[in-house]
Amino acid sequence: MSTSDVDPDGGVIGRLGDLYLDHLAVERGLSQLTVSAYRSDLREYFAWLAGSGIADPEGMDLESSLRFAAHLEKTAGASSRSRILSAVKGFHRFLFREGELGHLDIVGISAPKLTRRIPYVLSQSEVEELLRQPDDTPAGMRDRAMLETAYSTGMRVSELCGLRSEALDPDRRFVRIRGKGRRERIVPVGSKARAALERYLSEARPLLAAPEASPFVFLNYRGGRLSRVGFWKILKKHALAAGLPGDVTPHTLRHSFATHLIEGGADLRAVQELLGHASIATTQIYTRLDVDYLLEVHRTFHPRG
């Protein structure tokens, strides 16, 4: 029997682990990065099973699951324990559906409760100041187009840097984004971002383009695809020039996009669609951001506020 990709010792459990990873990649369409994270977590579980003398699914019962959870209590922090248990529970569910496991005892084991941090966002005036920073050089026109597009669409940095010319409709009113799990969504582009894109594409991009045409919209000085690190450096430069805090990241623009939409009264389901979130629970964090506004409403309208 060949050595398993997920279990160095191979064996029945390792073979089933490989089938589960294939299921995540092919049937559920998860990204290579996400599948790699599952692989890493399952390796830890499989190593523990091997060390406990458990070589097939028959030994993966409630007792072994409780002992594994106790092992994690001693070796991992709350966030890691929650993530690993989630991966292991998913593996058990897969085995149950495939008829390899006759129970789902592990599902009853609670993962650590995590406090979800509210993401840092820019105010609307801070965004305006940031967008004023790029100059009128070719690189400056590119920077403004990237920043405007990121804030207008809420794209992830990987989606922005991987944006191809054919993803823009002819009038630049919409952009087609291929996100996590190869899910595709159509997102409107605001008028300011459209204007910045038009100017960049007509005046600046031809000057940055290499002799061999690149399919990507945003180019570096060598005419190739601008990397995520490259965009992070661009954002840092303009954020510092605007007097913004040093912890502004590409994801800050995405958080700000979502927060400002919800503050303006946008429907949560619509924001979920624009962000490309698979679950609305991920989007709901943005409803908790405008705490000062809620306090003011309570003080103003509650009879004992």
The β-bridge relationship of strands 184-188 and 174-178 is antiparallel
From the candidates 83, 156, 194, 260, which is the catalytic residue? 156
Q: Is residue 180 among the annotated active site residues?
A: yes
Beta bridge partners of 168: 175
Cβ-in-10-Å burial (0-12, 13-18, 19+) of 233 comes to exposed
Element spanning 8, H or E:
none
- DSSP state at residue 303: T
The span from the CA of 142 to the CA of 196, in Å, is: 8
Rg (CA), the chain: 24
**Cβ atoms within 10 A of the Cβ of 143, count?**
25
From the candidates 180, 199, 228, 236, which is the catalytic residue? 180
Are 190 and 152 in contact, with CB atoms under 8 Å apart? yes
Q: Is residue 221 among the annotated active site residues?
A: no
Q: Is residue 173 among the annotated active site residues?
A: no
Q: Is residue 132 among the annotated active site residues?
A: no
Angle, nearest 10°, between helix axes 124-131 and 250-263? 130
From the candidates 43, 176, 228, 251, which is the catalytic residue? 251
From the candidates 83, 254, 255, 260, which is the catalytic residue? 254
Q: Is residue 251 among the annotated active site residues?
A: yes
Q: Is residue 156 among the annotated active site residues?
A: yes
Calculate the CA 60 to chain-centre distance: 32
SS3 (DSSP) at 32: helix
Positions marked active-site: 156, 180, 251, 254, 277, 286
